[in-house]
Amino acid sequence: MILVKGESGTGKSLALHYLEQQLLDKRRNKQSSPMPIHINLKKFSKHNVKDSFEKTLKDKYFGECDPNNSRLIPLMDGYDEIAGGCQKNLYNIQQLDRYSNDTRITITCRTQYLTSGYQQEFKPAEGEFKEFEIQQFNENQIRRYLINYSNELEKAGRENYSFV
C-alpha cells in the first residue's frame, strides 16, 4: 500500500495519472503485466466507498478485468474528497486481499486531511505501508520549468505558446 500525500495543488492526481500511463504502456507491451484500475474517490461517499473498487470495475472497465484472473493495481485518487469524510481503511473494507495477497494499491490524499495516527487508515492488515509526500514547487523551480517548457515549444515550432 502506497500513500501519496501533499498539499492541495501539488500534483498528486497528476502523478497518479502518470503512474497509470506508465503501467498501461507496460501492459500494452506485455499482456501479463498488471492492469491499473483508476478509481476517482470523489464520486463516492463514506456510505458507499466500500464498493468503489467493484463499481469502478463494472462501470468503467465493463467487466473486462476479472480480479480473480488478472493482476490489478487499484489507483485510488482523492481519499480526502470522499463525501462525508472517510476514516476507514479502504484496503481492508473492500477486502482486496481476497483477490491476491499481493494486491498493490496507491491512494492520494491531501496532507491537511490527515490526523494523528492516520497510518492505520491506510496500512493493510498484511503487507507493507509506504508513504511519499509531494512538495510544492518554489519560485525558482517554477521559473526553470517554464523556461524548459517554452524551449520545448519553440523546438516543436510552437513559439506562439511560449511562457518566457
* Count of beta carbons in the 10 Å neighbourhood of residue 118: 17
Q: What residues does each domain of the chain span?
A: 2-135
The three-point CA angle 33-1-109 to 5° equals: 115
User: Per the structure block, which three cell numbers stand in for 85?
Assistant: 469524510
Per-residue model confidence (pLDDT) at position 164 = 57
Fold held by 2-135: Rossmann fold (3.40.50)
pTM of this structure: 0.79
Query: Comparing C-alpha atoms, which of 65, 51, 62, 63 is closest to residue 23?
Result: 65
* 51-106 pLDDT, tens digit each: 888 888 888 877 667 777 778 899 999 999 988 887 788 877 777 777 766 678 89
Report the percent of the chain where pLDDT is more than 90. 35
User: Per the structure block, which three cell numbers stand in for 59?
Assistant: 462501470
Strands (E) across 41-102 are located at 72-77
